[in-house]
Structures are given as C-alpha cells and as structure tokens.
Amino acid sequence: MSAHAQLSALVGTVKTSDGRAAVAVTIAISPLNRSTQTNEKGEFRFNRLPAGNYTVTAKSVGLQVQVKETTVISGQNTTLIFTLTETSGQLESVNIMSFKTNKFANKKSDYVARMPLDNLENPQVYTSVGKELIAEQVIVDFKESLRNVPGIAPNNNPAGGTGATIRGFNATTTVRNGLAVQSYQTDPINLERVEVIKGPSATLFGSSIVSFGGLINQVTKKPFDSLAGEVGVTLGSYELSRLTADINTPLNKDKTALLRINAAAHRENSFQNFGYKRMYTFAPSFAYKVSDRLSFLFEGEFNQTNRSTVAYYQNLGKTSYKNFRDIPIGFETSLGGADINASLKSTNIFAEGKYKISEEWTSTTSIAYGENQIDHSSQIYPQWVSDNIFDRSIFNYGPRIFTSLNGQQNFNGDFKLAGMRNRLLAGVNFYTFRSSLRFTNLGVYDRINLNTSQVIPGLNSEKLSALIATSTSQTNTTNKQGSYSAYASDVLSITDRLNAMLSLRVDRFENAAPISNGIKATTGSFNQTAFSPKLGLSYQLVKDQLSLFGNYMNGFQNNGPVTQPTGTIDILKPRQANQWEGGVKLEAFGKKLNATLSYYDIKISNDTRLVNGITIQDATSKSKGFEAEVIANPVSGLNIVAGYAKNSYRIINAGANVGNYQAQTPTDYANLWVSYKFTGQTLKNIGLGFGGNYVSENFFDAENTIVIPQYTVINASVFYDQPKWRLSIKANNISNEKYWTNYGIPETLRQYLANISFKF
C-alpha cells in the first residue's frame, strides 16, 4: 500500500489562444521515455508516476518544440496547462494538423501492415474514410462511405449485406478491426473509419476473408479518457428517420477504466412501391489500463435488421434486351411485396490485450467471435422466358446461422540490427467457420406477362408461407472449415529513406465434408497447405514528402478435390493471385496535399476449365489498371477528396468467353467531394459540400451481351457547425439519375436528408 501511495498522476490540457482544443499533439515525459497524445478535448494524462522532477515536451512534425519543467509530488496530481499562441512566425507546441488541416487525409493505421507504419513507408495502397467525412456527407448507410474510395463500386446482396468491386473482384464486409467476422456491415454510428486495403493481401489477412482485389476493414470507435458525447436525429425522404447516440465516459478517477456506447435506430422505406428497412444497433466498448504496460479492450456489437429483399434477374439471354434500360419494368416498380423480407441478427464480440514487453517489443492478443443469424430471407429471381414474359421464382433461406472464431497473437518489435532499423511482425492466427443453412426452393410463384399485365402485383406473404409449408424441395446443410497460419513481416530501413518489406505466410486449411439432410457427403473433405509471400520497396525522394513504391503481393483461395468422369479424384492446387504494382505517394506542403498514384497488374492462375468433360487447372485471367487519389486542403476551410481508377479485367484462358471482360466489373470510376467551411466572421461556421460519382458501363453477363449503363450521381450539402451542435442538409442524386449497381440492382432516386446533432 505504501508503494502505491507514492505514485501520482500528471494531467494537462493543450489549447490555442482562442480557446480551441489542440488534438493529437504529442506529449513526451523524460527521463521516463513515455509519451502520449492529446485527445479530442486537448487533454493528456500520465498515470502512476513516482515523485520527482520531469521534463515535459510538446511537439509535432515540422513545428517548433515547447518544453516545460515540472515537479510531481508524492500522492498528488500535477496539472500543466498549455496555451499556445503564434508569435514571430512560430507556433509554440501546437500541431496545426490537429485543427482539421486536411482533415480527410488521416492515413495512420496499425491494421494495414499489422504494425505502426507511415503511409510513405508502406509499399501498399490503401484508402481511409474517416468519421469526419462520414459526418459531413450525412452518411446513414455503410455502403455510401465506400463511394469515397477510388475504383470502388458498392453493391448489396439479396438479404441486404454490403460488398464492393475492388480492382475487378468482389469484396465483402467481413473484416472488423483486422479480424474476421460474420456480420454484415457496421452501422456508421460505430465507425471510426473504413479502410480499403488494395490488392491480394493473403500474407497478413489469410484467404478466408479477403478477395484478390483487396479487403474492407471496418475500424470501430474506441473509448477515450474524457466525458464526451453526441446525440443526433436525421429525417429524410422515403420516411427515413434515424436516431443515434455516441456516449463516452471514464469510470474511475484515474481514468484507467473507460466506457463508450454507440447506438442507432434506423427506419426507412424504399423509393420503389414496395420496400423498407428497419435496423437497430447497440455497440458498447470498454477499455481498461492495468498499468503503463498492460491494457485490455472489450467490444460488443449487436444488430437487428428487418428489410425487404431485392430481385436478381436470371436468363436475360433469352430476351432481345441489350441494356438494362431496355427492360420494360418501371424503375420504381418492386418485384417483391409489402411484407416479403429478410430478418437478420448479428453479434460481434471482440477482445484485445496489449502488453509492452520492453521498449522494443509489444505483444497483442486478439480474438473475435462473429455470429450472423437469418431467421428467413425470401429471395426473388425473375426467370425470363422471352421478351416481356418472366416467372417469379422464390427461394427461401433460413433459418441460417454462420459463426466464426478468429484468434490472433502478434509480436511487434522495433530494434536495430547491424545498424539498420527493423520493424518486425511475427504472428499466428486461427480461424474456424461453421454454417448451418436451410434452403427451400419454392419454385415458380407466378408468371408475369407484361403484354397483358399493366400492373405487377406484389407478392403475397400468406401464399408464400403456404408454399414454404408444402414444399418438398428443402435442404438442410452444415459446413465446417478452419485455417491455421503463421506469418512474419519485416520492414528493414536500409537508410532513413529506403525501406524494404519482406513477408511470408504459411496457411493450413481444413475443410470437413458437408452434411446434407443428416447425411455426410463422401467427398468434399480435404486439407490444403499454401504459402503466401509479400515483398515491397519504398524510397522517399523527398524525406517525409515524396515516396516511390513497388510491391509484389499474393493471394490464394483453397480448391477442393475434383472427381473426374473416369472416377479418379484429382487434388487441385490453391487458386492464386499474383500482383505487381508500382507508384508514387505524396504528402507535401505541410501535409495539405496527400496523393497516391499507382499501376497494378494482377494475374489469376490455377483456375479450372472443362475440356471434353475433364477438369483442367490451367485457366487464367488478368486484372490490371491505374488508380489515383488526391486529398487536399489548399486553403483554410477548403477540403477536396478526389479519385479516378481505370480497370481492365479480362479472361485469358478458359472454357468459354476468352478475351471477354469479367462480368459486372466496370472499367472507369471517378469520385469527388469538395467542401468549404467559411472562416470569416460574417459566415463563420457555415459550410458547403458538393461532389458525386461516375461509374462506366459494364457487362451483366459473362458473354458480354447485356450492358448495365454508366451513371453519374451528384450530391450536395450545406451545414452549420458549432462546437456544441451541428445542422446539416444533404441532397443525394440531385439529378434523379436512374442507375443500377454492377449487380443490376436499382439504386435510390433523389433523396433529401436533414440532420441535427448535439455535442457535449
């Protein structure tokens, strides 16, 4: 007890001369060699300090350093207050960047490389969409945040989950805080940022949760050490109403126990004649700092969603339609019904422990449990018979339960060897997945003849329930699989400008034979081992401003054995993706200009094709393209986010469609958002935003005969932002563009949103 009484705390605040909090200023205390950063209120804190004299330093890159001396008395808290003013051209110990200079260009991430690595040092391309941009654009649907990423085409699956086409490949939202989950998308209320990590990334993320084009990592909000919160209400077109809350508080005097709760209730109807969404989210998180070396984080996220399902066209090749605009169904006409829906429930549990072994080594232990339950999902597939005639086929999925458990142990080191700095990651990972699914084929619900039916009737839930009850085509399937991996990655600083990344993963995949209607299959059980390397170089032509980079990256997907017509069983190799990429990264003019330009080439090998009924594993395809991203803050108050991407994904060697574009992959993308917040006294705190997206036409089918048309969508906003409250008005799709996702799903017409948020 006496030893404990000798420990004290040093607390403080950093503000500017006009009283604004200085966020993310680095505060270091010596001779203890400890450091921290100021929080959103400009506060900092050092706990459990022995009595003595200390030197406290406030600093930021490229700015003057301020130093203060202080004495900590045993058993008492010591307070330091910094008021920072600009004198003689120098700004004492304030990080100008923290005052929203290029506020949308925060590329800091421990997830992309699974280690602290600056953007200019990282040879991989990634984009981060932070909560600041999400708030400014009044985003109420996770999918909309992805439109700020160059080369992204967001889409939905039939039950409402979100995915996106990245470099020609479909990626789903199954990564949360760097680990695998089984939920659909996180509600925007719980998002700190969305990270889109480009290219095949199996070396650090495995094969079970990522696509060859990249992955979408949802980074959730974490507790911090001050009382703060925000409550918001959003109202909009199509009877949209949304209530959100974000509350953070310390739980003890030492501020070592922290709690944050995010919650949202969302109700919305469709722009079509049938359709709705009801979604409720509750996401508590708790952080506990045991000591300066050991800390824990616990998170939960619970989501309940009821929403209408969407229709997916089938057999359009039996018609003469060459473009989705040719289909003679009104854009605002739903092929579903008022109460034909999907009922979903998701649970995510996340726990993490961090222990600082020494000044050079840190241990991080993480575990994530995900569960996704679908009580029922009635999915509609219009089967075209000929022009103007189609059958509405219905498939019912549910009950369905997907569960996953992902555990990971990482050791991060930062040390010198032979005079060169090494940042080393060594880790192990396990991932288990189990699915239980009931699938009911209800057959043809009805036939619609557009020549004789001027109005398409809505589906009737009572008739649908009767079809489910009497169906004889029902299958209950259970699947289990797991993977066990070890990996290492080292970033070697050959000089202070030249860095080399060398990484390797070994992965053991185990797949159990599926069980269908209680009968275990005689095939489908297999084990497979794969290796995944990753290499990269970055060279800073201008230190901390301009970097050239190049990478070789690998991805793989496990293939099961194939039974040939002769009865022999062939063991297939994992499907492989190998990417070469090079480009330039820029962080110039005091980080007011952030840009990334790159060219990539991804070759897919070990695909299968049929030759005279025999499965041959020599099919190939290639996705290549160019991407550019610019995030700029040229003058005070003006922020620009812009991107352009060009992709060509073609079939090289296959059983059919050689030379064709991959279906549902656009070739050109552009995104833009420009906002200006007035700084003068007359219009102070008023802001305007304007931007949108362009996506080129793409082919709906593998034969490249049916076109999904290009679209340009324009959005705009006006807002009034005060320290204690914010009012925003947003117009989406101002021109009322009729457009479809690359999956052929109609997107929302013109929509107005109004939001008011109160902050404390």
DSSP summary character for residue 205: H
Instruction: Lowest mean pLDDT of 103-112, 528-537, 727-736, name the range.
Output: 103-112
Per the structure, the count of domains in the chain is 3
Do 191 and 335 belong together in one domain? no
If DSSP states are collapsed to H, E and C, what string results for 217-242? EEEECCCCCCCEEEEEEEEECCCEEE
Length of the chain: 760
The phi, psi pair for 643, rounded to 5°, reads -155, 150
Q: How many CB atoms lie within 10 A of CB 100?
A: 15
What are 359-376's pLDDT values in tens digits? 999 999 999 999 999 998
- CATH number reported for the structural domain that contains residue 652 in this entry: 2.40.170.20
Long-range pairs for 455-459: beta carbons < 8 A, 24 or more residues apart: 456/329, 456/333, 456/335, 458/273, 458/274, 458/334, 458/336, 458/337, 458/338, 458/340, 459/335, 459/336, 459/337, 459/340, 459/378, 459/380, 459/392, 459/394
Residue 109 lies in a domain: no
Residue 31, preceding peptide bond in cis (omega within 30° of 0)? yes
* Strands of 512-592, DSSP E: 515-516, 519-520, 526-542, 546-557, 562-563, 569-570, 575-588
- Dig out the tokens for 597 from the structure: 């330009």
Last residue of a domain, one of 68, 99, 130: 99
Specify the pLDDT at position 641: 98
Do 160 and 20 belong together in one domain? no
Do 249 and 132 belong together in one domain? no
Do 205 and 73 belong together in one domain? no
- The pTM of this model reads 0.86
User: Which helix (H) or strand (E) is 145 found in, with range?
Assistant: helix 142-145
Q: Please list the alpha-helical segments (H only) found in 185-304.
A: 202-205
Do 10 and 61 belong together in one domain? yes
Mean pLDDT of the chain: 90
What are 314-363's pLDDT values in tens digits? 999 999 999 999 999 999 999 998 888 889 999 999 999 999 999 999 99
Do 504 and 388 belong together in one domain? yes
Residue 318 lies in a domain: yes
Domain that holds residue 184: 119-220
62 has pLDDT over 60? no
Do 126 and 60 belong together in one domain? no
Residue 111 lies in a domain: no
- CATH number reported for the structural domain that contains residue 215 in this entry: 2.170.130.10
Do 453 and 554 belong together in one domain? yes
Residue 675 lies in a domain: yes
Residue 560 lies in a domain: yes
- CATH number reported for the structural domain that contains residue 21 in this entry: 2.60.40.10
Closest CA to 333 of 425, 209, 457, 172: 457
Specify the pLDDT at position 87: 38
Specify the pLDDT at position 42: 81
Do 81 and 136 belong together in one domain? no
What are 538-559's pLDDT values in tens digits? 999 999 999 999 999 999 998 8
Specify the pLDDT at position 49: 85
Residue 697 lies in a domain: yes
What are 454-485's pLDDT values in tens digits? 889 999 888 888 888 888 888 999 999 999 99
Do 654 and 741 belong together in one domain? yes
Last residue of a domain, one of 220, 251, 271: 220
Residue 331 lies in a domain: yes
Do 331 and 199 belong together in one domain? no
Last residue of a domain, one of 169, 203, 220: 220
Residue 735 lies in a domain: yes
What are 478-513's pLDDT values in tens digits? 999 999 999 999 999 999 999 999 999 999 999 999
Do 63 and 152 belong together in one domain? no
- Dig out the tokens for 490 from the structure: 């080292």
